[in-house]
Amino acid sequence: GAVVSQHPSRVICKSGTSVKIECRSLDFQATTMFWYRQFPKQSLMLMATSNEGSKATYEQGVEKDKFLINHASLTLSTLTVTSAHPEDSSFYICSASRDSGNGYTFGSGTRLTVV
């Protein structure tokens, strides 16, 4: 079945530094990748949608200069949280889909803690 690998699973960083999260589709080409943010006991909130080779589309209220998304290939998308602050601490989850409309495959998530 389709597998999406997300790394790292946990990361602790100092306030003001940047953190990169990788999302890879291991056995299929992901036409589109999505990045979500989830606070404790809350739902997944879509941050942005990225298509290979083009700029990401950000949801309203998401700072594109703070959350940099790169989708350089059909199997890799990265999310970089720049100048992280404690309020950026959250669970970040990626997912990938194909144009076939067969649904979405989610990564296992990244727990970001900014101290």
Q: Identity (one letter) of the amino acid at 23?
A: C
- Residue whose CB is less far from other proteins, 38 or 82: 38
Question: 75: number of CA atoms within 13 Å, CB side?
Answer: 8
Q: What residues contact residue 92 under an 8 Å CB cut-off, 6+ apart?
A: 21, 35, 36, 37, 38, 79, 81, 109, 110, 112
DSSP state of 33: E
Residue 16: CB minimum distance to other proteins, A: 26
Residue 64: CB minimum distance to other proteins, A: 16
- Residue whose CB is less far from other proteins, 34 or 67: 34
Residue 13: CB minimum distance to other proteins, A: 18
Which residues of this chain interact with other proteins, rule CB under 8 A? Answer: 6, 31-32, 34, 41-46, 49, 91, 93, 95, 97-109, 111
